[in-house]
Amino acid sequence: MKLTIGHLYPDLLNLYGDRGNIQCMKKRCEWRGIDVEIREYQLTDPIDFSGLDIVLLGGGSDREQQIVCTTLQNIRDDMKAYVEDGGSVIAVCGGYQLLGHYYETGEGKMKGLSLVDLYTKQGSPRLISNVVLKSEDFPYEITGFENHGGRTWIGENRPFGRVVFGYGNNGEDKMEGILYKNVVGTYLHGPLLPKNPHVCDYLLRNAMNRKYGRTDLAPLDDSQEMEANQYIKNRFSGSK
Ligand code: GLN
């Protein structure tokens, strides 16, 4: 068995080492005897979404987002078809904002992919915090770190999690990120998946299910990862 992971525009969208999420997916597959191929795409490369099982769109500064946003319009229809067909996507921060209709800043409006019904407007101050989330879709809390100026509004969509600690999508409605089909959009940067192996396996399970009709992933020893996860949860949310 094999999964192919596409990394979109790693030179531009890779704030805080979002790339580490790919290493985590790769390792957790390899430990289970599942092969992984990683394909990196630069701005001018054509992308054949039919060969991909998981797509990573990382975070970027406003300037970098502006650069990729024109290219995104060229891949929009193919990526939309991929998402509607159940293709998995993990989009972080700047990448998450670009999944939506637009990201409005003081400089103007950047058009997004409109793959998911959400929009983002820049605000002040930046929302910077450790984060703890709870979600019925995941067996444990999700922990991470956020740093964004944009405020995202997802309407009636399903959030990635509810904010226990931190700001989340906009600092107001206590929601963080989005889940749409097999798309996960989130503001949680950097080592999201190493910190939350249950989120990593959620992505792998969805991708395996779509490709092979099987969702069983051999259990791994995540005791150290979960000890770290629960330490952060207790430190910031106070509940033991
Ligand atoms: N430029 C976006 C913002 O500030 C996203 C930043 C990021 O990816 N950290 O909201």
In this predicted structure, what is the pLDDT of residue 214? 85
Mutational pocket test of ligand 1: of 14, 107, 147, 167, the residue with most ligand atoms within 8 Å of the beta carbon? 147
* Gap between the Cα atoms of 204 and 199, Å rounded: 9
pLDDT at 12 over 80: yes
Amino acid at residue number 77: D
CATH 3.40.50.11900 for domain 2-237: no
Amino acid at residue number 137: D
| Cβ-based neighbours of 170, under 8 Å, separated by 6 or more | 123, 151, 152, 153
In this predicted structure, what is the pLDDT of residue 19? 84
> Under a CB-based contact definition with an 8 Å cutoff, are residues 90 and 21 in contact?
yes
| pTM for the structure as a whole | 0.96
Question: Kind and range of the H or E element at 72?
Answer: helix 62-84
Residue boundaries of the structural domains of the chain: 2-237
80-115 pLDDT per residue, tens: 999 999 999 999 999 999 999 999 999 999 999 999
> Under a CB-based contact definition with an 8 Å cutoff, are residues 128 and 146 in contact?
yes
In this predicted structure, what is the pLDDT of residue 191? 87
> Under a CB-based contact definition with an 8 Å cutoff, are residues 212 and 1 in contact?
yes
Mean pLDDT of the chain, nearest integer: 95
Question: Is residue 200 annotated as a catalytic residue, yes or no?
Answer: no
> Under a CB-based contact definition with an 8 Å cutoff, are residues 125 and 150 in contact?
no
CA of 28 to the centre of ligand 1 (A): 28
DSSP string across 43-59: TT----GGG-SEEEE--
* 70 or 220, greater pLDDT: 220
Query: In residues, how long is the chain?
Result: 240
160-219 pLDDT per residue, tens: 999 999 999 999 999 999 999 999 999 998 789 999 999 999 999 999 999 999 888 999
Q: How much is the average pLDDT of 124-152?
A: 96
pLDDT at 240 over 70: no
> Under a CB-based contact definition with an 8 Å cutoff, are residues 75 and 47 in contact?
yes
Query: Across-strand partners of 109?
Result: 104
Query: Of 24, 69, 93, 200, which one is the catalytic site residue?
Result: 93
Query: Of 24, 189, 198, 200, which one is the catalytic site residue?
Result: 189
Question: Is residue 69 annotated as a catalytic residue, yes or no?
Answer: no
94 CB less than 6 Å from ligand 1?
A: yes
Take atom 2 of ligand 1 and give the residue whose Cα is closest. Answer: 94
Take atom 5 of ligand 1 and give the residue whose Cα is closest. Answer: 94
Instruction: Please state, in angstroms and as integers, the Cα–Cα distance from residue 181 to each residue in 60, 159, 175, 236, following that order.
Output: 24, 12, 18, 30
CA of 147 to the centre of ligand 1 (A): 7
Q: Cβ–Cβ contacts within 10 Å for residue 59, how many?
A: 27
> Under a CB-based contact definition with an 8 Å cutoff, are residues 174 and 163 in contact?
yes
In this predicted structure, what is the pLDDT of residue 239? 56
Instruction: Please state, in angstroms and as integers, the Cα–Cα distance from residue 151 to each residue in 33, 43, 226, following that order.
Output: 40, 26, 30
Q: How much is the average pLDDT of 225-239?
A: 89
Mutational pocket test of ligand 1: of 148, 189, 192, the residue with most ligand atoms within 8 Å of the beta carbon? 148
| Cβ-based neighbours of 149, under 8 Å, separated by 6 or more | 62, 105, 122, 123, 124, 126, 127
